Amino acid sequence: MSAKAVKNRQNKHLYVCALSSTRNWNSISRLFIAALLMGALSVLGQPSDVTSPDAASNKPTSSSTTIEELTVYSTRGKKYLREVPAAISVIDKNSIQRGRQQLGLDESLNAVPGVFSQNRYNYAQDLRIAIRGFGARANFGIRGIRIYSDGIPATLADGQSGVDDIDLGSTERIEVIRGPSSSLYGASSGGVINLYSEEGPEIPFIEARVTLGEYGMQNYQIKTGGQSGKLNYLANISHFKYEGYRDLSSVESSLLNTRFRYDFNSDSDFTVILNLVDSPSAQDSGAITSTQVREDPRQAQQRNISSNAGEKFDQQKLGFVYHKNIGEHQELTVRNYYLWRDFSTFLPIGTHINFVPDDGVVSFDRFFYGGGIQYSFSGELFGKPYETILGIDADVQKDDRLRFLNEAGVRGQLSFDQIEKAEILGLYIRNEYALSDAVDFVLGIRYDSVKLSVSDKFGNNGDQSSNLDFEELSPTVGFVWEARENLSFYANYSTAFETPTFTELASPPRNLDVSLGGFTNVVAQQAKGMEIGLKGSFLGERIYLDIAAFSMQVDDEITNVINIGDRAFFDNADTDRQGLEVYAVAELTTELMLSFAYTFSDFKFDKFSSNEQFEGNYLPGLPENQAYIELEYQHDSGVYLVGDVLYVDKLYVNNANTFANKASVVTNIRAGYSRMLGNWKIEPFLGINNVFDERYNSNVRINGFGGRLFEPGPPLNIYGGIALRMDIR
């Protein structure tokens, strides 16, 4: 099945949502029953001659609107979105790039229900993304979810992900799987984010874009792409500089992202991806106490200043993807990739903690490589169509890691020297079978072998070398029923497992009065979840509605129990998760669209053997309620105006639930104008962040030491820019 073109404006946010059965019949179940009744009534009452929107588009239709089919690839195949029995959201190019400041991936992910993001303004810590709670515990970077860019993993073999090499300026679309996905993607698949770069258009072009904003924000970008014979190419180079709202929060980074695809013929092609990043500085202002927030939200933590907290790195990534159609019913895809990263950071730990020297300077040289082979074939069985996907993935990560004492911002004596190695081998099979013209059935399973090893080269404190091996089987089963052309129901059972990263296996400093840490103290976590979902159009096709709820039991969840400086330490606990997700979009007029996303999260500790007093408490770092509203005006003249409001409920910042971050409402506006003048396209744009000057925290440090928990976000601030594009005819 080949994807059809989808108009940019019509597929802004395309969501497939899931609703899960719960062990206890509760209010979520009753709300879903109401939605089912609405869907059932619409099945009975819908006139057969009414033109309906495509279920995948999540956009209503009118007499002047045509919605085209959309194909998604996150199921490791090509499927129409309405046919997938899983929760998948799709974000298009306009929502990622048009009029955006492009500070972080969360600018567009905020509109996805079930996704919660923090830490946009601290580049030393990286963006923290949680999908249905997976990833919320990360002290830095991203945990619990897998991220891919053009098929190349941005998630390492030990499960740690980063987005500091993601080029938003050339990202065409984003697909998000919300919920456990280990049957397809292996470890750390509580959710999956797939990013796809632009392809070069038939008419070559060159584009320059400049964005300037308050607090010294500068972003310069040059992009070019096109088609030359059998070669399709896209290249984007950008330079980003930002002084930051808070003290000690500046960042500078240069990035090159390229994608070249050579079409041997109509059935086979070869793609080369090259990504280079050089970030000479990203400072870390750190978290401060609630008292300090009230006194001066712009201040940095004093320990961060004295420790010269921040990081620098340079990275090179090279990937190859070969794809071939073998006849009409078979496909072969082969991937191979390499990543080199040279990294160093000063952590705000200081020279002494409880009078014990600690190693607050970290550096490593990383080599990450891997690949995969996937083969799919389709046909008929008992007169009904089926498709089977077989695949193998293999990843290897090797870090040569050093630690030194942080002597008041100067690198001191060597205190740690080890080689860390992670290896993953995964085998998966997925079969999709049409039970009838209206019902499809999916069954899949994956086997993973994960090996973590540490070779201690320091030796002054005894040999700390060790090995851990994990083996897991991850099944999934699901079905989707197309009740009518514009109404679908689906259900699935899915699983995820997650191994600890090397940093989560670290022991705490000596003499610290807590009982945790150690290389064998944290085991792999297991998640099992149920989903049932509906998606459909109502009220004369002018409103599209997705309702989702889910129930998950997570055993041995790897849980943050204390932070010291920027180092976190972990233990295992069982958690119970239930939630409700709603997405709706309404066509108010042909030029005015209203989108709404709501998430309810009931995530609690179920069993916590080492801290029984926390059982029944809410998981920290996650709001119980989150809502996003967006109003978009698009005129045929090229003028556009978009306003959005993000409400984030109160959330607890420690396991004891004794400290909380207050609720916030942040409103943003962006506007622009796009005009073609011959071969030239000009697009000036302007944006206002935090229009009503809300005082809020853009990040919290879960279980932060000494009450240092909050990182304040900036007040009202303005940015603007212009993009100039020339088509080379």
DSSP letters along 119-184, please? -TT-TTT--EEEETTBTTT-SSSB-SSEEEETTEESB-TTS-B--TT--GGGEEEEEEEES--HHH
Identify any residues that bridge with 422 across adjacent strands, giving them in sequence order. 397, 452
The percentage of residues in the chain with a pLDDT greater than 70, rounded to a whole number, is 84
Amino acid 69: pLDDT: 54
What was the pLDDT predicted at 559?
76
Mean pLDDT over each residue of the chain, to the nearest integer = 85
Residue 420 to residue 505: CA distance in whole angstroms: 11
Residues 251-307 have pLDDT tens digits of 999 999 999 999 999 999 999 999 999 999 999 999 999 999 999 999 999 989 999
Query: Which residues, listed in sequence order, are joined to residue 549 by a DSSP beta bridge?
Result: 532, 580
* Residue 48 pLDDT > 70: no
The answer to whether 403 touches 362, Cβ cutoff 8 Å, is: yes
Model confidence, pTM: 0.89
**Predicted confidence (pLDDT) at residue 362 exceeds the cutoff of 60:** yes
Q: Identify the pLDDT of residue 505.
A: 65
Which H or E element spans position 568?
strand 567-587
Buried b (16+ CB within 10 A) or exposed e, 353-369: beeebbbbbbbbebebb
Can you tell me the distance from the alpha carbon of 144 to that of 130, in angstroms, rounded to the nearest whole number?
Answer: 8
Please tell me the predicted confidence (pLDDT) of residue 15.
33
Per-residue pLDDT tens digits for 637-660: 999 999 999 999 999 999 999 999
- Separation between Cα atoms, residue 377 and residue 430, nearest integer Å: 11
Query: Distance (Å, rounded) from C-alpha 491 to C-alpha 538?
Result: 21
Which residues make Cβ contacts (< 8 Å) with residue 412, sequence separation at least 6? Answer: 351, 361, 404, 405, 406
Of 140-154, 168-182, 459-473, minimum mean pLDDT range: 459-473
Band of the pLDDT at 38, cuts 50, 70, 90?
very low
Tens digits of residue pLDDT in 200-245: 999 999 999 999 999 999 999 999 999 999 999 999 999 999 999 9
**Interval 88-108: pLDDT, tens:** 888 999 999 999 999 999 999
Given a contact cutoff of 8 angstroms between Cβ atoms, the answer to whether 603 and 575 are in contact is yes
| Cβ burial, residue 380 (10 Å; 0-12/13-18/19+) | exposed
Residue type at position 421: K
Q: Which residue has the higher pLDDT, 279 or 535?
A: 279
Q: Which residues contact 22 (CB under 8 A, 6 or more apart)?
A: 28, 29, 530, 549, 551, 578
At 562, is the pLDDT very low, low, confident or very high (cuts 50, 70, 90)?
A: low
DSSP letter at 200 equals P
Residue that wins the pLDDT comparison between 488 and 55? 488
- Mean pLDDT score, 377-384: 94
Mean pLDDT calculated for residue range 610-634: 94
The pLDDT of residue 54 is 35
CATH top class, domain 8-727:
mainly beta
**E strand residue ranges, 408-438:** 410-434
Q: Where are the beta strands (DSSP E) in 179-288?
A: 191-197, 205-213, 217-228, 231-242, 251-265, 268-283
The Cβ of residue 481 has, within 10 Å, a number of other Cβ atoms equal to: 16
Amino acid at 68: E
- Considering the chain, what percentage of its residues have pLDDT values greater than 90? 66
**Are the C-beta atoms of 431 and 184 separated by less than 8 Å?**
no
Local structure of 620: helix, strand or coil: coil
Could you give the CA distance from residue 148 to residue 401 in angstroms, rounded to a whole number?
25
CA angle 284, 285, 286 (to 5 degrees): 90
**Which two tokens mark 600?**
């309810």
